[in-house]
């Protein structure tokens, strides 16, 4: 890794002066973000992180003095061309030709693995991660609310795979509960086999709307209860209807996931765990954790003082599993977690849902701990906020497919009206990929836990910090390579890459491993999004000021290599986010 070799060289010199092992210093040396001031160093060391007895009591003045004293004891060498002290930091500037040569060679050599081979990850053990995300309710159209869970879960899975972890992607379907009793009765009254086969989710949605009008009718309630009871008793005819609903739903979801570029290793669901949930209730009882209220409801006391100030209800008074939150009972989720550990022997399990379920998962992890499962500490809930204001031209949006169609249609319209748009082989496919990039970048720009206001105009701008701009930059750099022939790294004259705009791109490429490391720690995509947007702006500026056409052959070749490196890293980052880079626009 380019940054790694420079960090090691700086750490080696620092270790002799500070009498600390180089490996203890590496994470304290970070690449400096590119500044509009331009004349910035490439790396800096935070003095507070390495000076013994340095605590919060150290004044800024003391730290600055210590930084100056340390800088004076260090010497420039063949790697470092300048050393200076800043406010509490020691700054290192890398020999400019060595910087260009090392970065370009490393990007070229590592390709799609650039950044992930960094020594920043050397102490991170390779693990097996189970990630549960998306989780729609079967027999219902894919709701827009499931979009965030789907793209966030996909990003986390992509990142973990890129970093060498083994990942199991699970889609845990809402495929059980009383609503199937109602839907079954509705289908018997209003269903049509032809419509079910041609447009399953649309037809089931229409049936559900119709039967819901009669949901309060006592006779309908009784019929729905009977239908669900037969389902629980595995009545062949009823089970066959439910299975048909489930299979057709998964087939339809798979088609939509394909549009999103998302896949799963396993489709699971509440229906798999009904019997195991009863076993879990028995385990809770045997361990003395299940308590009964006066009304006969089953609860688990989660309070520290065991005064019932915090409880989780796990069983109805009639002894059946209680369904809460998104119609999933705690006992079913407990059974699911235990079964997954037995099946996959995972190191970490991540649930990706909206933040309204945070307490629910906190309770789940607490109960598992009380049951004696220490691995509960390795369970994690990644929560996200709500998207507000997502409307199509026809009004408020409910279904994801409407959004995907809308973004594709708007993008196609924008591309058609733009003079710079090339003749495309498949404009609809390109519009789909660019539109999806627009949705993902707008969603990932802030903290996942924040709610945000969706705006079509903001998302689809071709300039500014948008997914469209990322795709445009990638396509532009790709066409530059097509026009001038592919860059060749052999015998590149790196002395031709000393202009400030070239150096800025190189400095930014140095930081990629740190950005990946940060995202791997907190599972927030915003660090990568911010990095890629800056890279695109820097590449656009360099494209303007460093022409390939009309330049001397060695200058043109060096610049072509620089733009190739920028495009390669841009594509890598986009793919992690779940975006397919386009080569024409």
Q: Is 324 exposed, middle or buried (0-12, 13-18, 19+ CB in 10 A)?
A: middle
Beta partners for residue 93, in sequence order:
82
- Condensed to tens digits (0 to 9), the pLDDT of residues 391-425 reads 666 656 568 888 899 899 999 988 888 766 667 78
- Smallest CA-to-CA distance from 473 within 558, 406, 561, 540 is with 540
What is the model's pLDDT at position 324? 37
Q: How far does Cα 228 stand from its chain's mean position? A: 37
Nearest-angstrom CA–CA distance, 281 and 303: 19
Q: Which residues are catalytic?
A: 140, 143, 146
What is the model's pLDDT at position 394? 61
Give the pair of three-digit tokens for residue 511.
């930081």
What is the model's pLDDT at position 395? 59
Nearest-angstrom CA–CA distance, 436 and 404: 7
Give the pair of three-digit tokens for residue 348.
């970490």
Ordered domains of the chain (ranges, CATH): 2-94 (3.30.1360.70), 129-268+327-388 (3.40.50.620), 400-577 (1.10.730.10)
Classified as helix, coil or strand, 267 is: strand
- Smallest CA-to-CA distance from 251 within 196, 212, 211, 289 is with 196
- Condensed to tens digits (0 to 9), the pLDDT of residues 80-109 reads 999 999 999 999 999 999 999 999 999 999
Please write down the HEC assignment for all residues of 532-549.
Answer: HHHHHHHHHHHHHHCCCC
Residues 6+ apart with CB under 8 A from 269: 138, 172, 173, 174, 175, 176, 246
What is the model's pLDDT at position 418? 75
What is the model's pLDDT at position 415? 85
What is the model's pLDDT at position 488? 74
Nearest-angstrom CA–CA distance, 317 and 294: 9
Nearest-angstrom CA–CA distance, 555 and 492: 9
Mean pLDDT by 10 residues, the chain (585 residues): 87 94 91 81 92 63 91 96 94 96 95 93 94 90 85 98 98 88 93 92 90 86 91 92 93 94 94 88 94 88 90 72 51 93 98 93 95 97 88 66 90 80 82 95 95 86 91 96 81 92 96 97 98 97 96 95 97 98 94
What order of strands is seen across the sheet that includes strand 166-173? 266-269, 166-173, 128-132, 348-354, 379-384
Nearest-angstrom CA–CA distance, 54 and 70: 14
What is the model's pLDDT at position 325? 35
What is the model's pLDDT at position 561? 95
Residues 6+ apart with CB under 8 A from 231: 180, 181, 184, 238, 239, 242
What is the model's pLDDT at position 166? 98
What DSSP element (H or E) covers 400? helix 400-416
φ, ψ for residue 418 (rounded to 5)? Answer: -95, 130
Strands (DSSP E) contained in 399-450 are none
The pTM for the full model equals 0.93
Torsion 147-363-523-89 (CA) sign:
positive
What is the model's pLDDT at position 341? 98
Contact 474, 532 (CB under 8 A): no
């Amino acid at each position: 890794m380019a940054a790694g070799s420079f960090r090691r060289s700086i750490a080696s010199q620092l270790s002799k002066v500070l009498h600390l092992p180089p490996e203890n210093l590496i994470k304290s040396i970070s690449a400096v973000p590119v500044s509009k001031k331009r004349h910035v160093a490439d790396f800096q060391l935070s003095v507070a992180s390495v000076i013994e007895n340095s605590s919060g009591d150290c004044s800024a003045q003391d730290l600055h003095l210590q930084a100056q004293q340390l800088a004076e004891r260090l010497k420039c060498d063949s790697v470092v061309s300048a050393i200076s002290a800043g406010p509490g930091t020691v700054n290192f500037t890398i020999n400019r030709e060595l910087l260009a040569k090392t970065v370009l060679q490393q990007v070229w050599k590592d390709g799609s693995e650039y950044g992930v081979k960094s020594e920043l990850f050397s102490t991170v053990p390779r693990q097996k991660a189970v990630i549960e995300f998306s989780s729609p309710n079967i027999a219902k159209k894919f709701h827009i609310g499931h979009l965030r869970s789907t793209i966030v879960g996909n990003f986390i899975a992509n990142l973990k795979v890129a970093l060498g972890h083994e990942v199991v992607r699970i889609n845990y379907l809402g495929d059980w509960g009383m609503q199937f009793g109602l839907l079954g009765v509705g289908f018997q009254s209003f269903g049509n086999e032809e419509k079910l086969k041609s447009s399953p989710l649309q037809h089931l949605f229409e049936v559900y709307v119709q039967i819901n009008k009669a949901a309060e009718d006592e006779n309908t309630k009784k019929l729905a209860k009977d239908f669900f009871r037969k389902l629980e008793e595995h009545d062949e005819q009823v089970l066959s209807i439910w299975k048909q609903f489930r299979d057709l739903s998964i087939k339809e979801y798979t088609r939509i996931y394909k549009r999103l570029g998302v896949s799963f290793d396993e489709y699971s669901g509440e229906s798999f765990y009904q019997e195991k949930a009863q076993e879990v209730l028995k385990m809770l009882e045997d361990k003395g954790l299940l308590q009964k209220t006066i009304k006969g409801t089953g609860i688990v006391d989660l309070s520290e003082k065991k005064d019932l100030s915090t409880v989780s209800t796990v069983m109805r008074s009639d002894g059946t599993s209680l369904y809460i939150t998104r119609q999933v009972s705690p006992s079913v989720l407990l059974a699911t977690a235990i079964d997954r550990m037995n099946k996959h022997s995972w190191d970490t399990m991540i649930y990706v849902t909206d933040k309204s379920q945070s307490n629910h998962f906190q309770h789940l992890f607490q109960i598992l701990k009380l049951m004696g499962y220490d691995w509960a500490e390795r369970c994690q809930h990644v929560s996200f906020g709500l998207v507000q204001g997502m409307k199509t031209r026809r009004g408020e949006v409910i279904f994801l497919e409407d959004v995907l169609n809308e973004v594709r249609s708007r993008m196609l319209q924008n591309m058609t009206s733009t003079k710079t748009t090339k003749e495309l082989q498949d404009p609809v496919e390109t519009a789909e990929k660019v539109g999806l990039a627009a949705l993902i970048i707008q969603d990932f720009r802030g903290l996942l836990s924040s709610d945000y206001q969706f705006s079509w105009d903001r998302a689809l701008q071709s300039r500014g910090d948008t997914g469209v701009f990322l795709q445009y930059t990638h396509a532009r750099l790709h066409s530059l390579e097509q026009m001038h022939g592919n860059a060749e790294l052999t015998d590149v004259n790196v002395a031709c890459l000393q202009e400030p705009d070239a150096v800025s791109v190189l400095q930014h490429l140095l930081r990629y491993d740190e950005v990946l490391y940060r995202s791997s720690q907190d599972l927030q995509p915003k660090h990568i999004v911010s990095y890629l947007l800056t890279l695109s702006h820097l590449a656009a500026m360099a494209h303007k000021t460093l022409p390939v056409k009309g330049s001397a052959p060695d200058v043109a070749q060096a610049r072509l290599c620089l733009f190739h490196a920028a495009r390669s890293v841009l594509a890598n980052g986009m793919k992690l986010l779940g975006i397919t880079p386009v080569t024409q626009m």
